[in-house]
A and B are shown apart, each in its own frame.
Chain A
């Protein structure tokens, strides 16, 4: 059985759920929104064994062969907006979340992706160092609490951007003259600056050994926040594809979303590897959805022979 955990309105999870259903693969969906009605009981033997009881689900942990987890921070869910942090309900939800994470960490089968493997993304320079070791160019990067160092870096590279060091979402922005008025703020918190790399953005999704690239045309420094971003499928050369597969494997991931930029000189820069990609926005042809669903299903059927070919539903993100 494939076990999915997260929210049904999250399109990557919904696509997986409906796709697996169409293939006739047993699938169990645990709705994070109903976390207060879920219980997780377990014991330790060689691994974790036990059961999960959720609305409409009674699942022995031994029945699971594949886990695909995309949980949100439960604190931000609307169902928790009126629940006190010190309440029994809150503690129960936190305990359930923790148990699910423990299961994902110790589960002997396929996990997309194991939480510890995903954690490199929580420190961008840490991950960038790993990316660099795998043969990608990375932009010159400065982390500093020293305004004077920022100015020197700016003078040296002419165009620089700044963004968060952690996985906290921040809008990637170019440093400009008006920012100088607040430059002294970097003293209060180490800040990451990078040389601006002029070129074309690509988002590459790797699922096991399969690679799907998408070219992104945007007038904005951070295409995620642009209203007129255009995307089109792209083909990368074989060596670059294999580098993406190797990097994904080296980070312990089965599924990744890699942010690349081809500079105007033709050099390939890698900025980040997203370990839980919300890929549906980049999946105009449905190829990524199909590959993900078949990858999850293959682990159950031990190969593609038993799988019928079906159209994976296309959901709008």
Chain B
């Protein structure tokens, strides 16, 4: 079983789970986190149970996972009293950090304690990693955030990094540089957006969530997570 951890309001995530080959994927949403059936004991993680798609499963059934959100949002906790939502959100995120970090299977969008689907890096940190990896950065100096002004410029190219490489990128040198960025960040799922210049591509921004409207991206995700024995 592949679990797709996402908001239930994310229709792309819902489609990803619904169209997974052999119907192997199931959506795990914040609603599932607030459902009877979760039981995990520290030190006996694999013997535990979890809830996805409204149904209780054994953790041993999980073959792979992809996380498509960085945190749980209060507005999605439909069944929780408004005054309790902030606390419950923090608890759900902390629980997911523990759960996803301990899964003994391939996972795309590896959690960190600060962010459920990757490093909680600011754009400036991504820019520094790009610069260290040989990808040019040209950022204006301005109060507080040099990257903010960069966002106003047009992004002309998006590279999707899935697992261990970029999807459909024939430029081997650029692929290696993006791999180095991924290694510095400890991330395995992100989109690197670039601007064009006469002297080559320039860093624009990074976004952790993949573009699920791109069929090549979806195929790469499925290939990475589908157990090889199948």
With A116-B114, A144-B40 as known contacts, state yes or no: A99 contacts B145, CB within 8 Å. Answer: yes
Instruction: Verify if A188 is at the interface (C-beta below 8 Å from B).
Output: yes
Instruction: Verify if A119 is at the interface (C-beta below 8 Å from B).
Output: yes
Instruction: Verify if A236 is at the interface (C-beta below 8 Å from B).
Output: no
Docked-complex contact B88 and A165, CB < 8 angstroms: no
Instruction: Verify if A50 is at the interface (C-beta below 8 Å from B).
Output: yes
With A99-B145, A102-B125, A138-B42 as known contacts, state yes or no: A167 contacts B98, CB within 8 Å. Answer: no
Docked-complex contact A188 and B34, CB < 8 angstroms: yes
Q: Sort chain A's interface into a size bin.
A: 35 or more
Bound complex: CA of A43 vs CA of B144, how far in Å? 9
Docked-complex contact B124 and A44, CB < 8 angstroms: yes
Instruction: Verify if A187 is at the interface (C-beta below 8 Å from B).
Output: yes
* Chain B 98-126 interface mask (CB, 8 Å, partner A; 1/0): 10011000000000111000011010110
Docked-complex contact B38 and A145, CB < 8 angstroms: yes
* Chain B 146-172 interface mask (CB, 8 Å, partner A; 1/0): 100000000000000000000000000
Instruction: Verify if A125 is at the interface (C-beta below 8 Å from B).
Output: yes
User: Quick check: which of B10-18, B59-67, B134-142, B214-222 contacts chain A, the rest being far away?
Assistant: B134-142
Within A3-58, the residues touching B (CB, 8 Å) are: 39-44, 46-48, 50
Docked-complex contact A95 and B139, CB < 8 angstroms: no
B-chain residues with CB within 8 Å of residue A115 when the two chains form the complex: 114
Bound complex: CA of A105 vs CA of B112, how far in Å? 15
Within B38-78, the residues touching A (CB, 8 Å) are: 38-43, 51
Docked-complex contact A96 and B144, CB < 8 angstroms: yes
* Residue on B nearest A142 in the bound complex, by CB: B41
Instruction: Verify if A168 is at the interface (C-beta below 8 Å from B).
Output: yes
Within A86-121, the residues touching B (CB, 8 Å) are: 95-96, 98-99, 101-102, 105-106, 115-116, 119-121
B-chain residues with CB within 8 Å of residue A264 when the two chains form the complex: none
* Residue on B nearest A152 in the bound complex, by CB: B39
Docked-complex contact A168 and B144, CB < 8 angstroms: no
Docked-complex contact B124 and A102, CB < 8 angstroms: yes
Bound complex: CA of A125 vs CA of B141, how far in Å? 41
* Chain A 183-211 interface mask (CB, 8 Å, partner B; 1/0): 00001111100000000000000000000
* Chain A 282-309 interface mask (CB, 8 Å, partner B; 1/0): 0000000000000000000000000000
Instruction: Verify if A123 is at the interface (C-beta below 8 Å from B).
Output: yes
Q: Which of B39, B43, B79 contacts A146 (CB 8 A)?
A: B39
Instruction: Verify if B94 is at the interface (C-beta below 8 Å from A).
Output: yes
A-chain residues with CB within 8 Å of residue B43 when the two chains form the complex: 132, 138, 140
**Of listed B37, B80, B94, B114, residue having the most chain A CB within 10 A:** B94
Chain B nearest CB: distance from A74 CB in Å?
A: 14
A-chain residues with CB within 8 Å of residue B143 when the two chains form the complex: 39-41, 95
A-chain residues with CB within 8 Å of residue B41 when the two chains form the complex: 140-143
Q: Which of B38, B91, B114, B125 contacts A144 (CB 8 A)?
A: B38
B-chain residues with CB within 8 Å of residue A128 when the two chains form the complex: 42
Instruction: Verify if B1 is at the interface (C-beta below 8 Å from A).
Output: no
Bound complex: CA of A106 vs CA of B119, how far in Å? 14
Q: Interface size (B, Cβ < 8 Å)?
A: 46
Bound complex: CA of A122 vs CA of B97, how far in Å? 9
Instruction: Verify if B19 is at the interface (C-beta below 8 Å from A).
Output: no
Bound complex: CA of A124 vs CA of B139, how far in Å? 38
Q: Which of B80, B95, B114, B122 contacts A190 (CB 8 A)?
A: B95
Docked-complex contact A123 and B97, CB < 8 angstroms: yes
* Residue on A nearest B35 in the bound complex, by CB: A145
Docked-complex contact B120 and A116, CB < 8 angstroms: yes
With A43-B139, A102-B124, A129-B102 as known contacts, state yes or no: A122 contacts B146, CB within 8 Å. Answer: no
Chain A nearest CB: distance from B168 CB in Å?
A: 29
Bound complex: CA of A142 vs CA of B43, how far in Å? 10
**Of listed A39, A125, A149, A190, residue having the most chain B CB within 10 A:** A190
* Residue on A nearest B41 in the bound complex, by CB: A142
Instruction: Verify if B131 is at the interface (C-beta below 8 Å from A).
Output: yes
Docked-complex contact A44 and B98, CB < 8 angstroms: no
Q: Which of B35, B93, B101 contacts A187 (CB 8 A)?
A: B35
With A119-B113, A145-B38, A145-B51 as known contacts, state yes or no: A50 contacts B95, CB within 8 Å. Answer: no
- A and B contact pairs by CB, cutoff 8 A, 28 listed: A40-B143, A41-B142, A46-B131, A47-B128, A95-B145, A98-B144, A98-B145, A99-B144, A116-B114, A116-B119, A119-B112, A122-B97, A125-B95, A126-B97, A129-B42, A132-B43, A138-B43, A142-B39, A142-B40, A142-B42, A143-B98, A144-B38, A145-B39, A146-B39, A187-B36, A189-B80, A189-B91, A189-B92
